[in-house]
Chains A and B, each alone.
Chain A
Amino acid sequence: MLLWRASLRFLTRHPAQCVLAVSGIALGVAIVIGILLTQASARQAFADSLRSVFGRATHFVVAVDGEDFDERLLARVRRVAPQLDPSPIVTGSLRVDVGGEQRAVQVLGVDALALRGESGAQGLAWTKFLTEAGAMVMTAGTAQRLGVAVNGSLLARHAQDQHALRLLASVAATDESGATLADDVALLDIASAQEYLHKEGRVTRIELDAGNDSDAATTLAALAAALPAQVQIIDAGRQARGARNLTDAFYTNLDALSLLALLVGGFMIYNTMAFLVMQRQSLFARLRALGVTRGALARLIVAEGLALGLAGGVLGCGLGYGLARALMAPVGQTLRDHYFATGGGQLTFEPLLALLGVALAAVTTLLAAALPAWSALRADPAHAARYSVSADSAARGLARAAWAGLACVMLASALLTLSSRSLYAGFAALGACIVAAMLLVPWLVQHGLDAVAHRHSRLRPLPLRLAIRGASRSMGRIGMAVAALMAATATSVGVGLMVASFRGAVDDWLTQLLRAEIYISPGFDEQAPPRIDEQFIARVMQLPEVTTVSKIRRARVLYGDGELRVTAYELPAEAERGFQFLHGVAPWPAWNNGDVAMISEPLSYHLGKQVGDLIDIPTPVGRRPFRIAGIYSDYGSERGVVAVSLARFRHYWQDQRVHGIGIYPRPKVDSRQLERTLMALLPRDGSLAAWSNASLKSRSLAVFDRTFAITHVLTLFAAAIAALGVFNALLALHLERGREYAMLLATGLAPAALRSTLYLQTAVIAVLAAGLALPLGVLIAKLLIAFINIRSFGWSMQLSLDAHALLLPAAGALLAALAATVYPAERAVRIDPATALRYE
């Protein structure tokens, strides 16, 4: 009982320490929970969007080439298999203006009469849904985000057209049956969907429900036999899996970040708790001298850690939820921009995650308390009472950590050597490297500083000498905080360098690839159908300014469990030079006459295909083996692309239309003038747009930058939390050293000199942390590029040392550390030496 009172008394007498401990734990938990929750919600939202779009369908009729197809096939499907309740679906996306910002809204065009399901939303005016053009239904959350009330309208754009969408009703995102309407989906009648998306006469898929057919296999076989070769029946589950694959790479990014969060958060908690115990080493020694048993003390420390851990854990979960809320918007936007996924706006509360957060806090706190408690309890009471931490034991601790660090380095290299493709091994190795660096840093810093102090024992000015000695001596205490700062800075540097290198590579690639002066395409809508026919191309070719054009046609076909992107090119010699081959040779010579393909680097990686292998491309007339002549550099698709000649594509697909053309003008033609001339040729419905070489490149890079914006946000956040950790640690350190500072003041050190000492001490620590962060950052970037990027995307690139990415996080760490010194330094110099010393 006396013991518990002593503990309580310590904590209440040191409210600042208490707050620091709890907030340190809370911040650590918050970042982990924040990122995991964001990720879980994003995944959930994506799963929901699949479920609602795919409904209860068991099978789909889809075009082999992944495009929309003739709706008249529905009549055949209905006749052959009425018992499968065929339900046509038209999908696409519209842009809506929300407060001057363009947002993408997914359109789900349904035939209300053919949909399955029992019932639900009572009192809705469904007749209006069917008969009123532009009548839509959304989730309440989506309607709110888009700023539209029931009976209110949204202005939606598709190309140059505008349509008013009237919100007929909003529904709950999930109802009691678990069926959902996904976020950012506008449910429209199929008529409105066809009209607004310019898909009249076409459907995206026909959904089938074989769940109630006792002889489903026979029915499906009969249906398959009755359908033309251009379409196929696929299993709905398989389609969902394929769509899910699309987002895997995106989640890889988030995985990396949550790993980082876990590391930083864990170290924050360790640091906080270790400090709280070490600080009381003399008190514990005295208690031991008074006859308190080790067991009783150990129980006390455990209980204390548990209490603080739980408090911090609960607080951290709340904070993490707030963080996740803030992160959902950019995450959702990335999903919508790049993966044509819906959702991402709805934060789902995950009780399991909250439990994980609290458990993480409790376990880490206990672990963190255990190590110092063990050493405190083991110590000889008489000896330990005199001084809080002996220089010897601190040095031993640092040395032990350093050995553990070396072990981590070995583990990392072993992981990378033994696994060639596993992304998780790559992540584990990366994590091990960071942990190794964190364990090595305190020892390195202390020995480095000691060496400096030893060699320059008469170092002037005095504050600098004091600062170096002080920094060296405090490593045992704040070593972990410094290591965390270093790790966060290094990760920031590493990710920054990787992104900068990546961007540089994409920039080079675009410069190489974009050889034409002007491009005509539907823009950035990957789902847009091909609209350019040969008559249009002939009109362009008739312009006197134009020498030649390149043509591109895209198609998506189902391949294995996912989809394969096929790109068909017809290229003039100038454009052929835009391709950089990493392996093999350019396929151009045989390209138009035989089934020869080139594949992009990511596809080669994902499918494990090499030069000379065959790739079976599903065409409307069945699978056709294409020989791979070369593997080329391409950052356009992380899933990868197989490129064939347009002539071969047209041979198999029997479709003359193309998605885009590139225009090569005669020398000395004014490209702006040419762009205007071409604009006049474009269809008035706005379905096609002309892009200059420069604008296409800058648009592409803008998309790239948006993709990585979230990465920047998260690394900055991790760095900020690490800086807060350093703030906590320094604050606690300086508070504890109050008496020492008072002594210095009493023995004649000027307050100004003490202030400089403290700032210098911080600066020395921060400069060292940042200095060590730079090489570690470069190492992380190298690992990201050489292992993580390759293993998750299949993209290779050169590391380029971008000064901005290198120095900005380092400068930030320095500033954060100095800012953390302001309060303790000012407090230290204002302290009255007499009062402080009397306590002694």
Chain B
Amino acid sequence: MNKLYWLLTVAGALLWAALSGVHGGPAPRDGAHDNAIAAMSAPTDDAGFARAEQPRVFEFPRDHAAHPEFRSEWWYFTGHLKDSEGRPFGFQLTLFRFELAAHTPPSASAWRSSRVLLGHFAITDIEGQQFHAYERMSRALPEVAGVSVAPPAVWLDDWRIEYDAATGWHLKATQQGQGIDLKLDEKSAVVLQGDEGLSRKSAAPGNASYYYSLPRLAARGTLTLADSEHAVSGEAWLDREWSTSALSRQQAGWDWFALQLADGGSLMFYRLRQRDGGSDAFSAGTYVDSAGRPHRLAAEDVRISTLGAWKSARTGRTYPQGWRLDIPAHQLTLTLAPRLADQEWHGRFKYWEGAVTVSREGQPAGLGYVEMTGY
């Protein structure tokens, strides 16, 4: 998937919006993305950063940790949980790392840091029909935010993602009474996206990222709502991606699908939508069949049709709601439906990302997460 856009846009727009807020007026909403990309791309200089130019040998757990020689990176967890009484929840915990400059002069001020961390944390309370979403941001500061390589960890205040070779992944996040504290164990092998983990975003060499997924992580722990605590278990998905430059100005947004199928297979596919409504040729994904064999998917391998629409009363935006994915090469026809219509992020950044159910020929066939931006 192409969350690189996402990151660039988010980080850029946040910087731009936040900074200009010192003396700024209301944002021209429709132009925000363009301006953000312009603001970020105009002054930035990739010199001094490493680039994703050819496939690399991934080493774990080293590659679970940060790669600060690349400009940007993320740890993107989504998942479905159930408590002991079967009450279902969705969750998302995402931490982004972004370097504003390749070199930082030494200083006695901790703020002389060009590393920025951004976090998004959400709980979808499907029964309660509630979507709790929170955003945080900070430059890397002692006691506030940072990354560590050994052990692999990234944190933003008390939101923390860490990996331990013995105990696996540990996710912890809480805000305003909503929280998760989860242990995740890898149930499947690492899936290298793109060309053995090199995910090209455009024809220009170096406009690519390193991208791997852990599509099946067994999750166990507690989920807290404002008035209750739940012992939960379920399955999570991790997307890891890092890069320096992967920008194209032709795209209006993207749809990202991460599906955990009931037969043990999994599917990741991102569609880059062009301004003219078409799909970008660099849209891509991977289908892992029930036997665990990965199959690369190119843009033309997947046909996506939307089944309905949902209009946000809050932001006035209309998002597709329900999709059909046809992958003829694998005789796969999947129908996706949101587990809650309103899983819209409506803070400084407006997008829809939420838990969905997967069905095949009318029968439940798995769970997943869908992200839609640029609507």
Residues of B within 8 A of A189 (CB): 111
- Contacting B17 at CB < 8 Å: which of A82, A119, A137? A119
Q: Contacting B21 at CB < 8 Å: which of A82, A117, A131, A172?
A: A117
**A125 with B39, Cβ < 8 A, contacts A130-B139, A180-B23 known:** yes
Q: Are B23 and A179 in contact (CB under 8 A)?
A: yes
- For residue A176, CB closer than 8 A to chain B, the reply is yes
Using CB atoms and an 8 Å cutoff, list the residues of chain B in contact with chain A: 14-28, 32, 35, 38-40, 42-44, 100-101, 104-105, 107-114, 116, 134, 136-139, 141-144, 157-158, 175-176
Are B138 and A113 in touch, CB under 8 angstroms? yes
| Stretch of A73-81, A508-516, A591-599, A822-830 that contacts chain B | A73-81
**From A72, A79, A110, A201, contact of B157 by CB (8 A):** A79
- A464 at interface (Cβ–Cβ under 8 A)? no
Closest to A182 in B: B23
Contact yes or no, A78 B105, CB < 8 A = no
Closest chain-B Cβ to A167's Cβ sits at a distance in Å of: 15
Contact with B along A109-133 (1 / 0, CB 8 A): 0111111111111111111111101
A187 in contact with B20 (CB, 8 Å): no
Give the residue name and chain of the B residue nearest to A116 (CB).
Answer: B21
Does A133 lie within 8 Å of B143, measured CB to CB?
no
The B-contacting residues of A in range 183-237, CB under 8 angstroms, are 187, 189-191, 194-195, 200-201
Rounded to whole angstroms, the CA-CA distance of A733 and B348 in the bound complex is 74
Q: Residue among B21, B27, B32 with the most chain A CB within 10 A? A: B21
| Contact A113/B116 with A127-B40, A131-B104, A195-B108 known, Cβ cut-off 8 Å | yes
Whether A399 sits at the interface, judged by CB under 8 Å, is no
Q: Give complex CA distance A177, B21 in Å.
A: 10
Contact B24 A113 (CB under 8 A): no
Do residues B15 and A130 form an inter-chain contact, with CB atoms below 8 A? yes
A187 touches B22 (CB 8 A): yes
Contacts of B25 in A (CB 8 A): 118-120, 175-177, 179
Additional A-B contact list (17), CB under 8 Å, known A113-B139, A122-B35: A111-B139, A112-B15, A113-B138, A114-B137, A120-B21, A121-B24, A122-B20, A123-B42, A124-B19, A126-B19, A126-B20, A131-B114, A172-B23, A177-B25, A190-B111, A191-B112, A200-B110
The 6 closest A-B pairs by CB, nearest first: A117-B21, A120-B24, A119-B27, A191-B111, A177-B25, A120-B20
Bound CA span A355–B144, Å: 55
B18, B20, B110, B113: most-surrounded residue (chain A CB, <10 A): B20
Q: How far is the CB of A106 from chain B (nearest CB, A)?
A: 14
Given A74-B144, A111-B139, A126-B15, A119-B111 contact (CB < 8 Å): no
A-B pairs with beta carbons under 8 Å apart, 12 shown? A55-B22, A111-B139, A113-B18, A115-B19, A117-B17, A119-B16, A122-B20, A127-B39, A130-B139, A177-B25, A190-B109, A195-B108
Asked if A127 and B23 make an inter-chain contact with CB atoms under 8 angstroms apart, the answer reads: no
B18 touches A117 (CB 8 A): yes
CB pair A112 B18 closer than 8 Å? yes
Q: Which of A78, A115, A128 has a CB less than 8 Å from the CB of B138?
A: A78
| B136 and A126 form a contact (CB under 8 A) | no
Write the residues of chain A forming the contact surface with B, with a CB cutoff of 8 angstroms.
Answer: 52, 55, 71-72, 74-75, 78-79, 82-83, 110-131, 133, 137, 171-172, 175-177, 179-181, 187, 189-191, 194-195, 200-201
B residues less than 8 Å from A201 (CB atoms): 108-110
In the complex, the answer to whether A200 meets B108 with C-beta atoms within 8 Å is yes
Which of A75, A78, A127 has the most chain B CB atoms closer than 10 A to its own CB? A127
- A127 touching B15, Cβ below 8 Å: yes
Q: Are A119 and B43 in contact (CB under 8 A)?
A: no
Distance between A151 CB and nearest chain B CB, rounded to angstroms: 13
Given contacts A117-B17, A127-B15, contact A82 B24 (CB under 8 A): no
Closest partner residue, chain A, to B158 (CB atom): A79
How many angstroms between the C-alpha atoms of A176 and B40 in the bound complex?
24
Is B157 in contact with A78, judged by CB distance below 8 angstroms? yes
A contact residues around B27 at 8 Å (CB): 118-120
State in angstroms the CA–CA spacing of A79 and B141 once bound together.
14
Contacts of A176 in B (CB 8 A): 25-26
Q: Nearest CB to that of A139 among chain B residues?
A: B23
Q: Are A125 and B111 in contact (CB under 8 A)?
A: no
Choose one: B17, B23, B39, B105; the contact of A52 (CB below 8 Å).
B23
- The answer to whether B21 and A118 have CB atoms under 8 Å apart is yes
Q: Which residues of B are found within 8 Å of A191, using beta-carbon distances?
A: 107, 109, 111-113
Kindly list chain B residues whose C-beta atoms are within 8 Å of the C-beta of A126: 15-16, 19-20, 39
**Residue among B21, B22, B158 with the highest chain A CB neighbour number at 10 A:** B22
Is the CB–CB distance between B19 and A171 below 8 Å?
A: no
Does the CB pair B157–A75 fall under 8 Å? yes
Chain A residues closer than 8 Å to B35, beta-carbon distance: 122-123
Tell me which of B19, B109, B113, B175 contacts A112 (CB under 8 A).
B19
Collect the chain A residues with CB atoms within 8 Å of residue B101's CB. Answer: 127, 131
Whether the Cβ atoms of B23 and A120 lie closer than 8 Å is yes
Q: Which of A72, A125, A171 contacts B23 (CB 8 A)?
A: A171
Closest CB of chain B to A112's CB: distance in Å?
A: 4
Task: Tell me whether B143 and A118 are in contact (CB under 8 A).
Answer: no
Q: Are B20 and A124 in contact (CB under 8 A)?
A: yes
A121 and B18 in contact, given A72-B143, A131-B101 (Cβ under 8 angstroms): no
